[in-house]
Amino acid sequence: MSLFFPLLTAAEQVDGLYDIAVPVASQSSQELRRATREGLSTVFVRVSGDAGLAQQSAIKAALKKATQYTRQFRYETRPGLVWQADKTEDKPDQPTEQLYAVIEFEPKLVDATLRAAGLPLWSSNRPTVLLWLVVAEGNKRRFANAETDADIIQAITINAQRRGLAIKLPTLDLEDMVAVSTSQLWQLNHPKANAAAERYQADTVLFGRVSLLTNGEWLGSWQYNYAEQRQSFDAEAMAANDYIAVAIDQVAQLLAQQYAIAPVNIADNGVLLRLSGIDDFINYARAINYLESVAAVRHANVLSVEGDEIIVRLVADGLLTQLEQSFALDKKIQPQISGSYQGDYDIVLDYFWPSS
């Protein structure tokens, strides 16, 4: 039986979706305005999952007044790497420092702009991706690791942050080395590498291979296993960051297609949810607060309270399956056995609020 299911259960909360650090040349007002526009554009892509939204007229208009979306900002100097094409063991990447404008944007304004433009919203609770990458250089192959491939690891981190993805890397410990070899992973699929997803509590697996050519080119292929599907694609670039960006963008697009919620009501009058296990006012308040916090839910209106159960009308966006996926990812409520409700309401969603 396949390890991957449409309803994924090992999601992680991706923090900082509305915050960004943009490199700047100085602390001038002109540089800050440029960084704010660039940062807001990236945040729109992160929150919607749509890399092409910059062409939308509503987004273009928002970027012209990007400073109005700013909550606060500060400057930071952070260490970095200069990625050298002629890097050798005797001449590794040289450390450097870079000035950044760290900008926090108003989540409600960002969300409202996307909704008004008819663009999707992707919650911060996102499926995890386990990334295996084999690097071929000369006649040798190795798993990408922090010791020999700092540029690759940095590129993975930067691009995962750029698209708001929860990326995990294998620790490459003895258990990993015994389970799978670089030659096996070069085939971009291996049962034991897939099985490692369970060990790392990952929802999906991304396999990559890349050959570093003598002319500095990065040439290789990727395969992404998700929701019982496989997506393969090739990539080529002249730098680690660009090569990794191809894979991260592809994965983000595929996940957003499944999990980002379009601002279209599931039903004109909402859908009815029965939630059992509400045995006191504290659990009642927590349950309603949770339902109102779900990205797809606009309103959670209580229709009935009887015993330890409540009936709630959810006015929500997207597809019903996407709402169910949100509940599965959050793990706050648990589905009940179908057919257990005997009341008068036309219940669509039947869940249980687990005791704390």
List, as one string, the DSSP characters of 94-157.
EEEEEEEEEEEE-HHHHHHHHHHTT--B--SEE-EEEEEEEEEETTEEEE--TTT-HHHHHHHH
Q: How far apart are CA 72 and CA 103, in angstroms?
A: 6
Helices (H), the chain: 29-48, 57-64, 107-116, 150-163, 174-179, 182-185, 191-199, 240-259, 281-293, 320-330
Q: How far apart are CA 263 and CA 275, in angstroms?
A: 24
Exposure string over 77-87, b if 16+ CB within 10 A, otherwise e:
eeeebebeeee
Residue among 162, 182, 163, 161 nearest 172 (CA): 182
Q: What angle do CA 116, 53, 75 make, to 5 degrees?
A: 95
Residue-level pLDDT, tens digit, the chain, 356 residues: 233 334 455 678 899 999 999 999 999 999 999 999 999 999 999 999 999 998 899 999 999 999 999 999 999 998 865 554 445 555 555 668 899 999 999 999 999 999 889 899 998 989 999 999 999 998 999 999 999 999 999 999 999 999 999 999 999 999 888 888 999 899 887 777 777 777 888 889 999 999 999 999 999 999 999 877 889 999 999 999 999 999 999 999 999 998 898 877 777 778 899 999 998 999 999 999 999 888 888 889 999 998 899 999 998 888 888 888 888 888 889 998 766 677 778 888 999 998 75
End-to-end CA distance of the chain: 33
Which domains occur in the chain, in start order? 1-14+124-259 (3.30.160.100), 17-121 (no CATH), 271-352 (3.30.70)
pTM of the model: 0.80
Residue among 352, 342, 349, 153 nearest 270 (CA): 349
Taking phi over 0 as left and psi of -120 to 50 as alpha, with beta for the rest, 170 belongs to beta
Q: For the sheet containing 309-316, what is the strand order?
A: 297-306, 309-316, 271-276, 349-352, 334-335
